[in-house]
């Protein structure tokens, strides 16, 4: 009986030790993360039926794995339905005049010195609360990145622009700002903290190959900022709303126009010289 107890104790110690090693590897092993991603890419290659596009999403994933720093991932759109297959957050854009093919992609990078992020932990409504405390799951830095598909079927990174948020990614949409006929990319993020969502809008005011101009809009329970045109320059502006709220109702108090000051590189308003916004 004593031998049986000792044997069971030995098995328990081995089980706990193996679990600790597994946890450490899953959270803190860049080499294991890389090997898993390479394996998944190879499996996807075998399942592909054709390769009509040499700069397809799978090739982009492999390029990011080979070229970018450890813990850098191509993000996926939030799933529309529970059982739907998630799609990579990329938009292909063909410039017919230049005969170039571009790829807009949402990239997430792990903060150096912390555990590697898991892409699934920075997507969707639940991940929007990660802004309160992301230390346990790692901190993600989002970037909108533009790549060019070159004639030799290789990728070239044209620019990357940081998105000032760490979780809650939902979708990406290519749009046109009609007042100035300027193309822009809208990145939509869920935000449970304000009970709404935020849009980070990247306006291509100087053309597709120049770094874009960032302007944020949002809608929440007592938060609202909407796109508008205050002056007649090429930069977008916005209305920022303020609210009255009590136990019975929420009402709009007023709306304040902010416009882009090119000399200060800030959004300012004539209503108060001390008020400014970075985007």
Task: Give the 3-state secondary structure of 218-254.
Answer: EECCCCEEEEECCCCCCCCEEEEEEEEECCCCEEEEE
The average confidence (pLDDT) of the chain is 88
CA distances from 29 to 36, 70, 254 (A): 11, 10, 52
What pLDDT is stored for residue 148 in this prediction?
97
Given its phi and psi angles, is residue 57 left (phi above 0), alpha (psi -120 to 50 degrees) or beta?
A: alpha
Length of the chain: 279
Q: What is the mean pLDDT of residues 114-118?
A: 93
If you search the block for the tokens 């899953």, which residue do you land on? 26
Angle at CA 21, nearest 5°, toward 19 and 23?
A: 70
Query: Tokens 């992609």 identify what position?
Result: 105
What backbone phi and psi angles, to 5 degrees, belong to 42? -65, -40
Asked whether residue 263 is assigned to any structural domain, the reply reads no
As for how many domains the chain has, the answer is 1
- Mean pLDDT, residues 157-179: 97
- How high is the pLDDT of residue 21? 43
Residue 197 lies in a domain: no
Q: Which two tokens stand for residue 202?
A: 């990247």
Other beta carbons less than 10 A from residue 227's beta carbon: 18
Q: Tell whether pTM > 0.85.
A: yes
Q: At 165, is the pLDDT very low, low, confident or very high (cuts 50, 70, 90)?
A: very high
- Residue 129 burial (C-beta neighbours within 10 Å; 0-12, 13-18, 19+): middle
Domain span at residue 83? 31-167
Q: Is residue 227 part of a domain?
A: no
Per-residue confidence (pLDDT) for residue 144, from 0 to 100:
99
Structural domain contains residue 75? yes
Cα 102 from Cα 45, distance rounded (Å): 22
The answer to whether residue 13 is domain-embedded is no
| Confidence band, pLDDT 50/70/90 cuts, at residue 221 | very high
* In-domain check, residue 141: yes
| Percentage of the chain exceeding pLDDT 70 | 86
Closest CA to 55 of 106, 97, 91: 91
Neighbours of 155 (CB within 10 A): 20
Q: Could you tell me whether strands 224-228 and 72-74 are parallel, antiparallel, or unpaired per DSSP bridges?
A: unpaired
Residue 26 covered by a domain? no
In a domain, 50, yes or no: yes
Going by pLDDT thresholds of 50, 70 and 90, the confidence category of residue 16 is very low
What are 35-90's pLDDT values in tens digits?
999 999 999 888 877 666 789 999 999 999 999 999 999 999 997 655 567 899 99
């Amino acid at each position: 009986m004593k031998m049986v107890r000792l044997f069971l104790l030995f098995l328990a110690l081995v089980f706990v030790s193996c679990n600790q090693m597994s946890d450490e590897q899953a959270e803190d092993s860049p080499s294991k993360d890389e090997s898993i991603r390479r394996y998944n890419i190879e499996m996807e290659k075998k399942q592909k039926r054709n390769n009509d596009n040499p700069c397809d999403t799978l090739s982009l994933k492999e390029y990011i794995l080979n070229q970018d720093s450890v813990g850098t991932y191509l993000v996926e759109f939030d799933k529309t339905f529970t059982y739907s297959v998630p799609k990579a957050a990329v938009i292909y854009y063909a410039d017919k005049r230049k005969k170039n093919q571009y790829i807009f992609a949402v990239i997430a990078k792990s903060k150096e010195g912390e555990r590697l992020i898991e892409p699934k932990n920075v997507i969707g409504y639940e991940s929007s609360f990660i802004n309160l405390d992301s230390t346990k799951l790692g901190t993600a830095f989002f970037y909108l990145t533009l790549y060019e598909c070159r004639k030799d079927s290789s990728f070239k990174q044209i620019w990357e622009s940081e998105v000032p948020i760490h979780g809650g990614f939902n979708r990406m949409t290519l749009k046109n700002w009609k007042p100035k006929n300027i193309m822009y990319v809208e990145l939509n993020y869920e935000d449970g903290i304000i009970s709404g969502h935020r849009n980070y809008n990247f306006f291509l005011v100087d053309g597709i190959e120049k770094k874009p101009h960032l302007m944020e809009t949002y809608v929440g329970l007592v938060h609202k900022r909407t796109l508008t045109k205050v002056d007649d320059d090429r930069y977008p502006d916005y209305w920022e709303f303020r609210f009255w709220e009590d136990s019975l109702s929420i009402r709009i108090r007023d709306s304040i126009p902010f416009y882009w000051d090119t000399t200060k590189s800030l959004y300012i308003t004539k209503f108060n010289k001390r008020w400014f916004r970075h985007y």
